[in-house]
Structure 1
Amino acid sequence: MNLFNIIKNKQEYWLVDQIKKEDVSTESYIRELTDILVNWSSLEIGYLSLLMDEQYESWLLERDFGKISSIVEYTRGLEGVQNTDNQMVSHSLAEGLIDEQEYAELYELCRSGSANKNTKQPIAQVMSSLENELGPEWRKHCYYFLQDGAFAGISIPHIEIGTVDEGRLFYFGVVPELRGQGIGVQIHRVSLELLKQFHATYYVGSTDVHNTNMIKIFEKNGCELRDRKGIYKVVS
C-alpha cells in the first residue's frame, strides 16, 4: 500500500509526505513508515524530512525525530480559475531571457526573511533539487514575474510526483521590497492559471502555521484549509 509520497535526492535527503486515507489504520501507517526508515537508514542518506499527522508525534520523537514546526495545507479546484487582468509580466527560465545563476539569485532574494521554520537548503542544492524532482524540462516550470520591468517574484508550478493532476508550487515568493502590496496575491493567482496549463485539476499549497501572510494569500485566492501536519526530521 502506498501511504507516503517520497522524493529522493541522491545521498543527500529524502522528503516523505503522508498520504492521509480515512480507511487506513494507525498500525498500517506505522508499519509502512518503519519500512521506509529501515530502507533510508541502510542507504546512509543524509537526512529524512517527514510531513505527518501530529497524532504520531510521540512515536516519532521516541525514534529520534526532531520536530521542526507545523504546516497547514490549503486546496482548491482549478476549474473556476480565470485569466485575470494583471499588470504582471511572466517568463519561464526556459525562454532564456535570464540564466540559471540570475534565477538562483532571485530565488535567494525571494526566500529571505521567510516566516517558514524549516531549515533552508543552500541555494545551489535547491537548484539541483529542481532538476531532480521536476525532471529534464524543469526550466519550463521556473517562472519569474516583472512589474514595471523590475523583478517582483518567482513561482514554480508543477504536477505533484505520483499524481496526474495535483498542482503544487515547488516554491513561491515575492521580493522583500514589494511585500505587503498585494503582489503575492497576483502572482499566486497567475500561478494557479499556469497550473491549469500543466493539466492540473486542483491545487494543494502548504505553509508554516506562523506564515500568516501566505495563509491570507491562500484565502484571498479561494483556497480552503484541508489539513495540518507536523514537520519532523531525522539525521542518519
Structure 2
Amino acid sequence: MNLFNIIKNKQEYWLVDQIKKEDVSTESYIRELTEILGDWERLEIGYLSLLMDEQFESWLFEKNFNKISSIVEYTRKIKDLPVTKDRLVWHSLAEGLIDEQEYAELYEFCRSGSANKNTKQPIDQVMSSLENELGPEWRKHCYYFLQDGAFAGISIPHIEMGTEDEGRLFYFGVVPELRGQGIGVQIHRVSLELLKQFHATYYVGSTDVHNTSMIKIFEKNGCELRDRKGIYKIVR
C-alpha cells in the first residue's frame, strides 16, 4: 500500500510525506513507515525529513525523530480564478533572459528572513534538487517576477509527483523590501494561473504554522485549510 510520497535525493536525504486516507489504520501507517526507515538505514542516506499527522508524535520520538515545527496545508480548486490586473511581468528561467546563477541568487534573497522554521538547505543543494524533483525540463517551472523592471519574487509551480493534476509550488517567495505590500498575493495568484497551464485542477500549499503572512496570502486567494502536520527529522 502506498501511504507515503517519497522524494529521494541520492545519498543526501529523503523527503517523506504521509498520504492521509480515512480507511487506513494507524498500524498500517506505522508498518509502512517502519519499512521506509529500514530502507533508509540500510542505504545509509544522510537524513530523512517527514511530514506526518501529529497523533504519531510519541511513536516518532521513540524512533529518535526530532520535531522541527508544524505546518498547515491549504487547498483550492483551480477554476474561476480572479482576473489579474497587476503590474507584474514574469518570465521562466527556460527563456534564457537570466542564468541559473542569477536565479539562485534571487532564490536565496527571497528566502532570507523566512518565518518557516524548517532548516534551510544550502542554495546550491536546492538548485541541484530541482532537476531531480521536477525533471529535465525543470527550468520551465522556475519563474521570476518583476515590478517596474525590478525583481519582485519567484515561484516554482509544478504537478506533484505521483499525481496527474495536483498543483504545488516547489517554492514561493517575495524579495524582502516588497513584503507587506500585497505583492505576495499577486505573485501567488499568477502562480495559480501558471499551475492551470500545467494542467493542474486543484492546488495544495503548505507553510509553517507561524508564517502568518503566507497564511493570509492563501486565504486572500480563496484557499481553505485542509490539514495540519508535524515536521520531523532523523539524521544518521
Bucket of the pairwise TM-score, normalised by the shorter protein? over 0.9
Deviation at 1:81, TM superposition (A): 1.5
State the Cα deviation string for residues 66-89 of structure 1 (Å, max 9, x = none): 000000000000012144112100
The Cα of 1:15 is off from its aligned counterpart by 0.2
**CA–CA distance in structure 2, aligned partners of residues 118 and 79 of structure 1:** 31
Task: Tell me the residue number matched to 1:174.
Answer: 174
Partner of 2:76: 76
Provide Cα deviations, 1:109-144, integer angstroms capped at 9, x if missing partner: 000000000000000000001011000000000000
Spell out the pairing of 1:1-236 with structure 2 (5 A cutoff).
Answer: 1-236=1-236
Return the letter of the residue paired with 1:129.
Answer: S
- The 3-state SS of whatever aligns with 1:41 is helix
Deviates more, 1:183-192 or 1:74-83: 74-83
For residue 206 of structure 2, give the secondary structure of its aligned residue in structure 1. Answer: strand
Distance 1:84 1:200 in 2: 18
Distance 2:84 2:108 in 1: 28
Hey, what's the Cα distance between the residues in 1 that align with 2:118 and 2:55? 20
Q: What SS does the aligned partner of 2:145 have?
A: strand
Distance in 2 between residues matched to 1:217 and 1:82, nearest whole Å: 14
Deviations 1:188-230 (A, max 9, x none): 0000000000000000000000000000000000000000000
Please list every run of 5 or more consecutive structure 2 residues that lacks an aligned counterpart in the other structure. none
TM-score by length of 2: 0.99
Helix, strand or coil: the match of 2:227?
A: strand
Gaps of 5+ in 1: none
Q: State how far apart, in whole Å, the 1-side matches of 2:12 and 2:106 are.
A: 24
Per the normalisation by structure 1, the TM-score is 0.99
Q: Distance in 2 between matches of 1:204 and 1:80?
A: 16
> How many residues get paired?
236
> In structure 1, what residue type is equivalent to 2:218?
F
Structure 1: distance between partners of 2:157 and 2:83: 16
* Structure 1 CA distance for aligned equivalents of residues 31 and 152 of structure 2: 45
Q: Percent identity?
A: 88
Secondary structure of 1:84's counterpart equals coil
SS at match of 2:181: coil
Letter in 2 for 1:211: N
Rounded to whole Å, the distance in 1 between the matches of 2:11 and 2:169 is 24
Query: Residue 118 of structure 2 aligns to a residue in which SS?
Result: coil
Q: Which amino acid aligns with 2:132?
A: N
Other structure's SS at 1:126 match: helix
Aligned counterparts of 1:197 and 1:203: Cα–Cα separation in 2: 13
